[in-house]
Structure 1
């Protein structure tokens, strides 16, 4: 929020100065008298522009305007330099304002005003200086009053929400607080920003948090500018405060800085409580894994209604994930139990809320294994199911145990250790094929796929059945197993299915 600075119109309204605007409204661009005026300077030089700054008003008595002066060029130089207005002191060197000056200023849209003989130029400059000092004092008083109001707001229930609401009122702009997960925690006024703009703003906030940026930045959405300020330290950002404003003067920025500090402290205290709560939940998880929900119910008061699904998330951000579930609990009444352990983040929800696990996986880009619906008496089994499903999920998203058991038992047993054993057992066979260009491994695989029927397998391979039988005997010899028995054939099939091709 920019401060209201003194303007040329402010100066012209001072009755004690007796200034008179010569230019008419038709000659001046819109808002030409409303631009902030930096200073008032006086000069009778033919070309004072090397000594002028932008956004000031120039006062002159016109001694430089002799018969040869090019007044139009003079005004053009002032306009190009950024002078906001020209004051002409009458009855000092000339009576009245020269018509040529009136015409030149009208052509350039330069506000021209008369300074009467009784008003010294220094009085005009001093009046503007006093206006600037009054404006600075007013802004500092505003900042002090705002700081006091924010300190009182911090003492109210839900202090962080109260602080943000007070900040919005003091700045007169929409103010929002996003948590570490990039979701809106609080916004005031509530309906000042449309849902579509809020969604896009949340996306940009999420990007800021992902990149770990600490500095404030501005962005424009739907012709509306927002300023973003991160809360917390790099690598441990707690959230983002967003203001629907394109600029802040130093006093307003100091107030926002105070709010950032207050928000950081409040979130740090909340995080300490959250860590304590997570430690408690980790202990309660042990009781649930013993298939006994009695202690968790006594401590927490309630658990998600059965039937339940248990989910385990790998490499999940426990804090933001817990905050996300907490918002669902507050806004929608969703019951959830969440705890951390060496296996990852365990989540327990009612089977009717299972689709929220898909939403969480997408929101945080994490892997989640989900059990089949169970009762609390089978919590440990559901937890094991979730872990099994998680191991089969290589990319972000959810994997359900019900889908995992639809595959073969060999696929479920294909661990890295099992693959290593299988490849070691098949090594003699593969080494033979590599050295001789043979097809023993392919032959036994096709033979087993045809239920050890030589004629059908030989036809599939395009060889004679006696050739195939010879290959099977040779393969059994290399592997040291008798392939005439079913257990040996079953073991070889398991080795072929488990080993990498």
Structure 2
């Protein structure tokens, strides 16, 4: 147990006497500090027993502000050494300490300050040793529980008892695997935001949620890019360092247990990648047989291809989130890595396609693109479409971007406004200069002519000029620009220059 003022008062050899009546003496002491400064607060961290002979107070320093500074600094108690300039503790100091609720001790001349320091130091050392010994014992008990029959349940039960709270073991998508006690599983869903954040980070990673009544610690389990689960513990009040060490030990034991399947996971990932390449080569019937042997099935046509861009951690998290959605919708899905991306295949006709729209929200930083509905024979096109949509999403920090949406805003959406304005200014500069001299309304005439698809009669009518005049203007403009305006490419360039996209 931590040493307190009450413990020191119980040591008769120190001869300490409590002078304040209503102050609490049960607060743990962090250390003993000796100071004769009028304001020792800058040198204190809180929880100390401050010892003084009152030199500062003998210089007629008011007692009440002195005591207030000590209380604000978090001092646990004040010891006043008598017989060294002061035969008794100053009455005004006793009153100020009484009013502030600060324990004030009379330290007799026969008790050196060093004796009090040694007593507190020895008690703190014994308490620390006891905490270390208890932690070591609990770690041994956790190890035995991890090796016992019954899976991870004995380990979780022992962990919950050791911290005086509750413990959850969750799978990668946040589903409860073990709960101690069983009722603790009800709070798993409320942790989804933190789980999503940790899932996108390299394991192990942790988070702490501290509230007025409860402290919750979350640790992701794993040693690589794939998060294999989560350990969540909670208890009322703060979680002391010794208990945190116990939680870390439990997380390590659970990680070792889960990492035993890492080799199998790697082999399965390689198999899935190979199957995807067979699908892209048109071998969907062959792959369907293999997938069926694995106890799964390929999605039905028409297919929706989703492609995820992101780090290996983000792609692994996307697999877990997608798998969770697949379980809830009971819709077939196939996933595999392809050239540093994640490809997800599902049927466009199932609710799973809509469920996967939460991927960017659940996996922060990942970019997701989707294809048009395609058949198995068009799978390569679908993957290409999804990749282009995902690249568009990443470049614009968007959510899920559909390939069908890329063409909706028109060509202007993919042109840089600043670069296009510079292009237009450079290309049209000779015509603008000529118009300033009054030599002909070349820019406006070209814009109207192009708007009428190069037809002379309707363009000339709109301009209010003869068609031969319009021909001369267009011919002159072509010579000044150094372009053959009978060519479709030249007309397209000129149209874009005359209608540059607008910036934000």
Shorter-chain TM-score: what band? 0.5 to 0.7
| Aligned-residue offset at 1:38 | 5.2
Deviation larger for 272-281 or 186-195: 186-195
Would the alpha carbon gap of residues 193 and 222 (structure 1) be closer, same or farther in structure 2, given more than 3 Å must change? farther
Is 1:471 paired with 2:473? yes
Would the alpha carbon gap of residues 332 and 248 (structure 1) be closer, same or farther in structure 2, given more than 3 Å must change? same
Q: Where does residue 281 of structure 1 map in the other structure? A: 272
Secondary structure of the 1:340 match is: strand
Contact kept, 8 Å, 2:432 with 2:443, in 1: the verdict is no
1:51-101 CA distance string (max 9 Å, x none): x996449899xxx9xxxx99x999997897646377999xxxx9xx99999
Contact kept, 8 Å, 1:58 with 1:83, in 2: the verdict is no
Is 1:433 paired with 2:431? yes
Would the alpha carbon gap of residues 13 and 203 (structure 1) be closer, same or farther in structure 2, given more than 3 Å must change? farther
Contact kept, 8 Å, 1:429 with 1:440, in 2: the verdict is no
Q: Distance in 2 between matches of 1:19 and 1:392?
A: 76
Is 1:291 paired with 2:289? no
Q: Where does residue 110 of structure 2 map in the other structure? A: none
Q: Distance in 2 between matches of 1:204 and 1:330?
A: 16
Contact kept, 8 Å, 1:310 with 1:379, in 2: the verdict is no
Q: Where does residue 146 of structure 1 map in the other structure? A: 138
Contact kept, 8 Å, 2:307 with 2:342, in 1: the verdict is yes
Secondary structure of the 1:147 match is: helix
Q: Distance in 1 between matches of 2:308 and 2:97?
A: 72
| Aligned-residue offset at 1:457 | 1.7
| Aligned-residue offset at 1:291 | 3.2
Q: Where does residue 320 of structure 1 map in the other structure? A: 314
* RMSD of aligned residue pairs (Cα, Å): 6.2
Is 1:346 paired with 2:343? yes
Q: Where does residue 354 of structure 2 map in the other structure? A: 355
TM-score (norm 2): 0.61
Q: Where does residue 118 of structure 1 map in the other structure? A: none
Q: Where does residue 364 of structure 1 map in the other structure? A: 364
Is 1:84 paired with 2:77? yes
| Aligned-residue offset at 1:360 | 1.3
Secondary structure of the 1:354 match is: helix
1:370-415 CA distance string (max 9 Å, x none): 223344354334334434545665422333234456688xx59x99
Contact kept, 8 Å, 2:370 with 2:385, in 1: the verdict is yes
1:292-341 CA distance string (max 9 Å, x none): 32343314432353245433436323443333332453476054322222
| Aligned-residue offset at 1:458 | 2.5
Contact kept, 8 Å, 1:318 with 1:340, in 2: the verdict is no
Contact kept, 8 Å, 1:308 with 1:348, in 2: the verdict is no
Q: Distance in 2 between matches of 1:17 and 1:350?
A: 81
Deviation larger for 183-192 or 349-358: 183-192
Contact kept, 8 Å, 1:287 with 1:296, in 2: the verdict is yes
Contact kept, 8 Å, 2:326 with 2:333, in 1: the verdict is no
The count of corresponding residues between Structure 1 and Structure 2 is: 449
Contact kept, 8 Å, 1:338 with 1:345, in 2: the verdict is yes
Q: Distance in 2 between matches of 1:77 and 1:492?
A: 87
Q: Where does residue 336 of structure 1 map in the other structure? A: 333
Q: Distance in 2 between matches of 1:301 and 1:214?
A: 31
Deviation larger for 354-363 or 428-437: 428-437
Q: Where does residue 383 of structure 1 map in the other structure? A: 383
Would the alpha carbon gap of residues 476 and 367 (structure 1) be closer, same or farther in structure 2, given more than 3 Å must change? same
Secondary structure of the 2:246 match is: helix
Would the alpha carbon gap of residues 496 and 113 (structure 1) be closer, same or farther in structure 2, given more than 3 Å must change? closer
| Aligned-residue offset at 1:36 | 0.8
TM-score (norm 1): 0.62
Q: Distance in 2 between matches of 1:59 and 1:135?
A: 26
Q: Distance in 2 between matches of 1:475 and 1:125?
A: 97
Secondary structure of the 1:364 match is: coil
Contact kept, 8 Å, 1:361 with 1:397, in 2: the verdict is yes
Is 1:251 paired with 2:242? yes
Q: Distance in 2 between matches of 1:397 and 1:134?
A: 57
| Aligned-residue offset at 1:285 | 1.0
